[in-house]
Structure 1
Amino acid sequence: MARGRKEKKKKERPPPPPRFSSAWFLDWLRTLIFAAVIFVVFRTFLLATFVITSGSMEDTLQVGDFLLVNRVSLGSPIPLTNFRVPGYAEPEHGDIIVFRADHSPGLDIVKRTLGLPGDTLRMDGGTLYRNGVALDEPYVRRDPRSPDSTDARMVWQTAHLVPDPTRGEYEPTRDTWGPIVIPGERYFMLGDNRDSSLDSRFWGLVERKKMRGTPFFIYYSYDREALKPIRFLTAMRPGRIGPSPD
């Protein structure tokens, strides 16, 4: 008996509230609010998803690839403020990055980082030169059937041209332009499908604060142009599932 009195009684859990009672609804409301907060924090600061809908990054990324994007690496903006959570890395040459497009508000796009602040870039006949050195770009896809062309949108480059008193009228083309100097906090982004990509050549530089993250994993992929019913299931590309290519 003495031993029994010394034993502490275990606290019994209160019974769950009756279904559809006010207490039951309150419990569910708390659970839903907690789940919503976790989801918002997760999507805002940690991880995002992105779907490739254009061929500008082929063959590295293909139309129908579903990507996981690391938002921690480059830092994330804090909603409704001008502040952002610092990241643990800065963009480097060759990084594939998802960013918010100035030329199309509300749209996120993905390109490869080819110019950092302070770099001098030019292109001659489709070959990209950075700081005077021709780049070896094995990831680039070219279309010999697509002729070079001018584009009025490229006039933005004029403000960043390297001074040259012998230069006449500046007439850039898709494959021949520059040299331009990349200013601070700005980045030059190009698509790997070089002849079918609207990128920094046309709409300009990307602000550092507009960068949203780096893709790191393809979690699903299917051929959106396959002539099959229910392509999402019947035209799967399981071989593409895995770490995102560089």
Structure 2
Amino acid sequence: MVVVPKRRPRKKRSGFGSWLRTLFVALILSIILKLFFLEAFIIPSDSMAGTLQNGDFILVNKLHYGPRTPQTILQVPLTHQSMPGLKKSYSDLVKLPVRRLPGYSRIKRGDVVVFNFPPDSKHPLSQKTHYIKRCVALAGDTLKIVNTEVFVNGKKQDTTGFNLTFQYEVGGKNSQKSKVLENSNIPFQINGDAYRFWASPAQAAKLSKDKRLAPDPSKKPLLSVSNNGVRNPHVYPQSERFAWNEDFFGPMVIPKKGMVMSMIRFPDNVALYSELIKKYELPKAKVEVINNQLIIDGVLIERYTFNNDYYFVLGDSRHNSSDSRYWGLVPGNHIVGKAAMILFSTNKNQSWLNISKFRKKRWFKKIK
């Protein structure tokens, strides 16, 4: 006679425990996805108007250029700088070096990129505020802007496929002109007795033909362009050595890793690059400029070899963007990823009860 031992009844798993395990796995997968693959962002301004609108919810591909390893490991998961109830959702007691893992492509001219805002000194690198702009010049390029047009290495940049907008002005303030601009869905503001609006050249040309806006052909909307040779003190590098402004800028060489520049023979290089060296190349060294000479840790530097690649970025709304023309270049280790797609878009000026709140024509749109 064979005696079969009785099996102990299996304990039923707690529904709450199973739910916690599922939640934990989902959290880990979400963190990995955000760190190394994809991250979502909301566009908060009109600096990329024409390509991206305020209220667009976009997806950024981090695999494109290669994801970065996290710098601050003591952080509330899935947060960036803060969270409700906490002004700071991370601790910078432990900071690791940022490394970029291999990607499947390099940054190209014309790419729309998300990056950590370089001048942000309140946070560690990976926690700096996120910006989004279009890369127009790569490390090693020579950039020049002439009458709003970008030239790279002596060639005019091909902007085919870019939805660029510029600032225009038209005089003669009245209610009829206000109505025309409102109905055109073009951002505008009243500037004294004139209107200032931001539109593409095609939109401006169409508005110029509207007799309600420009009854006199001689007073059609004009492109607002700064005069060549008139220095804007807010434009990089904020030096009196350069009579540059937002519409006439450069020429400027964009530093590349391993590039050697003379700081004695070409003293303009000190004004152009000393802040880059101080903030991003040698942040722990004592970098000084004395009588337009570069001094590092008490040593006069005749030639400097750059340790990083840099990039020049512009907003597609060329007269309504804080970009490299004002605060300088983007170091390569600040690049987060390539803007890939608009997932969905909402109009922040409309109520959630209004169907026009949802801009469905922009949903699942590839970013070019």
Superposed pair shares fold, TM > 0.5: yes
Structure 1 vs Structure 2 CA RMSD: 2.5
**Identity over the aligned pairs, expressed in percent?**
31
1:135 aligns with: 157
Indicate yes or no: 2:231 matched with 1:207: no
1:229 aligns with: 351
- TM-score normalised to the size of structure 2? 0.55
CA distance in structure 2 between the aligned counterparts of 1:84 and 1:234, rounded to whole angstroms: 42
1:51 aligns with: 42
2:13 aligns with: 17
Conservation of the 8 A alpha-carbon contact between 1:150 and 1:174 = no
CA displacement, residues 78-114 of structure 1 (integer Å, 9 cap, x when unaligned): 1133223221111001111111101235211111110
Conservation of the 8 A alpha-carbon contact between 2:232 and 2:243 = no
CA distance in structure 2 between the aligned counterparts of 1:190 and 1:169, rounded to whole angstroms: 23
1:26-41 alignment to 2 at 5 Å? 27-41=18-32
Q: Secondary structure at the match of 2:319?
A: helix
Structure 2 counterpart of 1:219, from 321, 339, 343: 343
CA displacement, residues 103-141 of structure 1 (integer Å, 9 cap, x when unaligned): 235211111110001111111111111111122324221
1:1-246 alignment to 2 at 5 Å? 14-18=10-14, 25=17, 27-80=18-71, 81-82=96-97, 83-104=99-120, 105=123, 106-138=128-160, 139=162, 140-145=164-169, 146-148=224-226, 150-156=231-237, 169-184=241-256, 185-225=309-349, 228-230=350-352, 234-246=356-368
Farther off after superposition, 142-151 or 194-203: 142-151
Amino acid at match of 1:60: T
Farther off after superposition, 44-53 or 80-89: 80-89
Conservation of the 8 A alpha-carbon contact between 2:133 and 2:314 = yes
Q: Secondary structure at the match of 1:144?
A: strand
CA displacement, residues 1-42 of structure 1 (integer Å, 9 cap, x when unaligned): xxxxxxxxxx999342356xxxx54x4443333222111101
CA distance in structure 1 between the aligned counterparts of 2:245 and 2:138, rounded to whole angstroms: 22
Mark the runs of 5 or more structure 1 residues left unpaired by the alignment: 1-10, 159-167
Mark the runs of 5 or more structure 2 residues left unpaired by the alignment: 1-6, 72-95, 170-223, 257-308
CA displacement, residues 57-76 of structure 1 (integer Å, 9 cap, x when unaligned): 11011111100111111112
Task: Number of aligned residue pairs: give it.
Answer: 220
Conservation of the 8 A alpha-carbon contact between 1:157 and 1:180 = no
- TM-score normalised to the size of structure 1? 0.80
CA distance in structure 1 between the aligned counterparts of 2:250 and 2:106, rounded to whole angstroms: 25
